[in-house]
Every structure is written in C-alpha cells, then in structure tokens.
Amino acid sequence: MKNLKNFILFFVLLVVALILIPNLSNAESASVGSEEDLLEAIENADNGDVITLTNSISLSAPIELNNINITINGAGNTITKDDDWQPKGANGTFITAGEGATLNLVNINLTNSQKYGVQAYNGGYVILDNVNISNCGYGGVLVNAGTVEVRKVYLGHNGREDSNNGIEIAKSATLSGDPSEPILKMNGTISSDQTKNVIYVDVNDPVANFQVVNEPDSPNKIFLNDNKLVVTNQNNEIIFESDEIEDLELTIENYARNITLTVNLMEQSINITIQEGSTLSEDEVRSYIDLNSLGLGNYTLDGFYVDKDFTTAYDFTQVFEDDTTIYAKLTLVEQPSEPLPQEQDSTPKTGYANTLEIALSVIALSAIGLVVLNRKEF
C-alpha cells in the first residue's frame, strides 16, 4: 500500500512538472497583435526576450531601442506604416537599434516605411534573418555607424522611383567625431528583384570609411571591384553591383574574378574553375582527373607541361592570373600478353607408336585366350 501511495505521489509531481516546464521556458517570450502591445512588450523586455507577432501591425511612430538585446519574430507577418504616422525628428525609420542595442529580426516583412525599414545606429547591432523589405521611401536598410549582419534578406525596390537603395552604408554628420564606423557582415544570402545598388553608398556624400566582413561559409559575399561594391554568389559570380564610388577608405577584400584552367589530355580536355591570383598544387589538379571516366584507364599520368610536346614542366608555384592551358603527359601501360591456348591433336595416330599399341593389345588378348583354354582342358 505504501509503495502505491509513493507511486501516485511521484506520478502527480511528474504531471505538474510537465505542465510547468513549458510555461517556465516561455517566461521570457511575449505574443503581441497590436502596436500598443508591441511597445509595451519592448518596454518590459529583458535581455534575450523574444517578442512574436500574432498578426500584421501598423506603426504610427518609429521604434527606437537602446541598451537592450531582443528578438522580434514576425512569424511571417508584416510591419507597415499607419495613416497617422509621425516621425521622431529626423528619424522616419520603422525600427532603430541604437547604442548598446542588439535587434534580431526574424521571419518578418517591412514595407512602406517613410525612410528605412530598419537601421543600426551609433554602435547598434541588427541581425536580419529571413526578412523581406520593400517600398521604403529612402532605402531598405541603413548601416549608420552601426553593424548589420545579413543572414537571409530579400530586398524589393526601395528608395525613390528613379533609383534603388537596398542596403545603404552611411555615417550621420552628427556622428562625425564618434569612433563607431559602419560594418556590414555577410553571413548568408541577399536576394533582390533589383540589379543596381542592392548595396548602396551615396556617391554625393560617401562615408569616410567602413568595413565589410565576409564570413567564410557565407553563400553571398561583398567585394570591391574597381570602384564598385559587388555581391557574388557561391560560384564567385557577380550578381549585384553598385554605382561607381570614388575616394573610399574601407576595409574590404578585392574581388577576384573566376578564370579557367584547361587541362589537355590527348584528344580531350577538362576545365577547372579557379579564382584569379590563386594557386593549385599538382596533387590538387590530379584530384580533378579521373582517367577511367575519361576512357583512359590504360594510361598513366606522368606530369603536366606548358607545351604539347612535353618539353617544359609546368611550375605550380606560380599564381594563375588569366585563363591557362596545360598539357598532361599520358603513357600507355603495356598489358602482359596471355599465353595462347593449346590445341587438341585430333589427327589419328599412325606410325611406330600406333603399331606398338596394336601389337601389345593383340599379345594381351592372346594371353587371356590361352589361359581360358588351359582351364577348360584341365
């Protein structure tokens, strides 16, 4: 009986725990469905809190964040501008992450802002993770002496009708003496239905300097190509480019275009795509070549040369600056000859050997006959 009571008590405590644990795990989350609820949730938020929209919201004024680290999960909903919209001074952006603030925007659409959809201002940090921004009056995103990290963002048309401004890199004149500089971090993908100025720097008032950080595994990267900022895809092909920008001081890698290394193998060849200014070792080139799949399984690869007569070996310590062709020396492997099959002799036996066999057979039969006869007489 005592064991039964202990079992019942344990079962009750387990059920209570299962009921309470989800509530405890969501204690720092809030669901909001109106501008008023959103502002209240931000006002009462602690670092690390997640605010989730239950439906789309219209804002009547900009939201400014300072010294707080929060996530706003749109759950696929939209923030747009209310008919009674009133900017705060010069700030007409939907959401600004200011000094000491980190804002993680997730699964949300921003549209029809007076100025920008979102900005990182004076050291603020903004993460864009599955965010769609379109039809904003000045631009989609403003990197204003803060940091914007792109994980996944789609940019429709933003800016004036005759131009486009996707992600703008800037530093406000009021921050000219501040040590904070704009930083744009690529850690994912940028997609857009626009082709020009998906990344934008005002050519009439360019920021003095800024940084672009490309994470190693980022599918899209941003480089400087001559006087333009370009966005590349996973194949290192340019998909977007800015207008020409003069006199920039910035920390950013230069774009290295794709070039082709052609390896000639007798009557056929293979192409290897590499980046301008890079090197490949001989072993790396060999790794691209499968002689069996090329129908050359009875050959060995004996080296690479600059000429088809194989007089000068290729120097793999030099960098590839342009499309290059090299020649692979192949040697036919001598296959061991197989012994010829022996033919069976089907010719009837004749001559001495045949006669001897017949004689021996006759003698044997005669001996057997004599033995039989002698037994009968006996």
pLDDT band at 369 (very low <50, low <70, confident <90, very high): low
> What is this structure's pTM?
0.75
How far apart are alpha carbons 64 and 158 in whole angstroms? 21
DSSP string, 43-105: HT--TT-EEEESS-EEESS-EEE-S-EEEEE-TT-EEEE-TT---BTTB--SEEE-TT-EEEE
The residue extents of the domains of the chain are 26-251, 258-332
Given a cut of 60, whether residue 3 has pLDDT beyond it is: no
Residue 129 has a pLDDT of 98
Question: Could you tell me which residues are beta bridge partners of residue 48?
Answer: none
Instruction: Indicate the Cα dihedral angle 147, 148, 151, 152, nearest 10°.
Output: 180
Instruction: Give residue-wise pLDDT tens across range 135-181.
Output: 999 999 999 999 999 999 999 999 988 889 999 998 887 877 777 88
From the CB of residue 270, how many other CB atoms can be counted at a distance below 10 Å? 15
How far apart are alpha carbons 212 and 201 in whole angstroms? 13
Burial class from Cβ neighbours inside 10 Å (0-12, 13-18, 19+) for residue 243 reads middle
Phi and psi angles of residue 228, each rounded to the nearest 5 degrees, phi first? -125, 145
How far apart are alpha carbons 174 and 183 in whole angstroms? 18
User: Homologous superfamily of 258-332 in CATH?
Assistant: Listeria-Bacteroides repeat domain (2.60.40.4270)
Is residue 240 a contact partner of residue 231, using CB atoms and an 8 Å limit? Answer: yes
How far apart are alpha carbons 109 and 374 in whole angstroms? 124
